[in-house]
């Protein structure tokens, strides 16, 4: 990963960790004249799939000639990945200038008593994105929630449409220990009379979201209700998805692999239809083109062929289950697994789906303080002791995996998105060197 040394204000903010709440960001945005109110927004929450849905939606609207802003997290290699306009990353010079303005505002507002404590890393980047999109005069911004929804820094917007992709277990220490509580936090993005597109199928979570929409008089559009047909057809070229709504039938093959990406595409399509109902000029042809050509690195991304190296940031149990299904369907043979994850994750539940896929497991750690060390992971999962190799750095883990592979055994790099980012950098560098 690219270090934050060139952004000292951001680097320092990392020390303050996570703080949920909207008071500080609202005060700073007010100081800047409410830039987030200068353009329409699609606001996307969910446990898994929200980044992919954001990428598809941004691509759909850009293909229609709209000037788009995209705000996502986390990044893989460069923090500038989080803030994009028309598919281009914010320039380093522009990000530095915005950070300087935000830092001055924060200092002044602290003196005035309008900001308590320090802005968090995520709050600072969210403010930077809002300012950047306003100054670049975007026609539409697609915003990914960082964590939860109700108290997430992005939840100061009043969107054209709210989207909730999926609900499963993650960040329980902040969001709650059961799916109902997690759904309540994520449904916090629902606004009064604003349509909510929902890809959630779990009944416990769905009940909570339905109640929130009812209380807010917000129309609920269920992507996978019975009268809307979603199906997958296998042919010689792979999976083709069909999604039938009240107004059209869409046939598509996303460039992003896996059945879950077909489901994410259906969520994006349903959202695009709601936007059409709200007056946005979109065509079925370009909606399909948008979900088929969207790019979202680090999600079942395949590098090379001798051996194939698959990268996926499956940082929770639901994501690991998707990888397990994909691997069995696509390769159906043992892998060399390179695994690294953050300390606060439920490592046992993630490993339950990934480790049985492996012939050998290489435990490593991304270069972050909150990453679990190889010895720590091994101690938590003693049942696989005979399969483990321990490597302290991601490059050394990848080098060992490629040696063990002998160019034949496929390599799976899975766990934290930060692991995937470092692995991606290593593989790209290796490819450039020939």
pLDDT at 62: 98
pLDDT at 345: 87
pLDDT at 175: 63
State the 10-residue block means of pLDDT for the chain, 434 residues long.
Answer: 73 77 95 98 95 97 98 93 98 97 97 93 97 98 93 96 90 67 94 97 94 98 90 82 94 91 96 98 98 94 90 91 93 95 91 96 92 93 88 96 95 95 91 74
pLDDT at 434: 63
pTM score, whole prediction: 0.93
Give the chain's domains with CATH numbers.
8-293 (3.40.1190.10), 301-432 (3.90.190.20)
pLDDT at 2: 56
Phi, psi angle pair for 103, to nearest 5°: -60, -45
pLDDT at 21: 80
């Amino acid at each position: 990963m690219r270090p934050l040394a060139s952004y000292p204000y951001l680097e320092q903010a990392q020390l303050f960790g996570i703080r949920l709440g909207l008071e500080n960001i609202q005060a700073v945005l007010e100081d800047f004249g409410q830039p987030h109110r200068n353009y329409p927004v699609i606001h996307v929450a969910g446990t898994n799939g929200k980044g992919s849905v954001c990428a598809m939606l941004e691509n759909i609207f850009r293909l229609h000639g709209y000037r788009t802003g995209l705000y996502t997290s986390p990044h893989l290699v460069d923090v500038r990945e989080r803030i994009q306009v028309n598919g281009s990353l914010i320039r380093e010079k522009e990000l530095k200038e915005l950070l300087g303005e935000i830092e001055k505002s924060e200092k002044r507002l602290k003196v005035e008593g309008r900001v308590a404590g320090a802005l968090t890393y995520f709050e600072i980047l969210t403010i930077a994105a809002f300012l950047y999109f306003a100054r670049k005069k975007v026609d539409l911004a697609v915003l990914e929630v960082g964590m939860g929804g109700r108290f997430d820094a992005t939840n100061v917007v009043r969107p054209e449409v709210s989207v909730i992709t999926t609900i499963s277990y993650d960040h329980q220490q902040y969001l709650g220990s059961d799916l109902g509580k997690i759904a309540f936090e994520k449904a916090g993005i629902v606004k009064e009379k604003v349509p909510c597109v929902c890809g959630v199928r779990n009944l416990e979570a769905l009940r909570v979201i339905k109640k929130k929409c009812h209380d807010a008089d917000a129309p609920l559009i269920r992507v996978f209700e019975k009268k809307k047909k979603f199906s997958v057809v296998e042919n010689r070229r792979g999976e083709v998805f069909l999604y039938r709504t009240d107004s059209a039938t869409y046939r598509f093959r996303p460039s992003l692999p896996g059945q879950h990406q077909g489901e994410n595409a259906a969520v994006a399509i349903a959202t695009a239809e709601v936007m059409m109902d709200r007056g946005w000029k979109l065509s079925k042809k370009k909606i399909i083109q948008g979900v088929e050509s969207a790019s979202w690195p680090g999600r079942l991304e395949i590098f090379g062929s001798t051996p194939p190296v698959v990268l996926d940031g499956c940082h929770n149990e639901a994501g690991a289950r998707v990888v397990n299904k994909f691997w069995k369907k696509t390769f159906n043979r043992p892998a060399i697994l390179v695994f690294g994850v953050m300390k606060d994750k439920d490592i046992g539940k993630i490993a339950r789906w990934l480790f049985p896929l492996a012939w050998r497991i290489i435990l490593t750690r991304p270069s972050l303080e909150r990453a679990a060390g190889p010895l720590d992971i091994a101690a938590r999962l003693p049942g696989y002791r005979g399969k483990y190799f321990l490597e302290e750095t991601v490059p050394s883990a990848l080098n060992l995996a490629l040696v063990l592979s002998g160019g034949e055994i496929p390599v799976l790099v899975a766990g934290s998105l930060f692991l995937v980012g470092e692995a991606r950098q290593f593989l790209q560098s290796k490819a450039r060197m020939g």
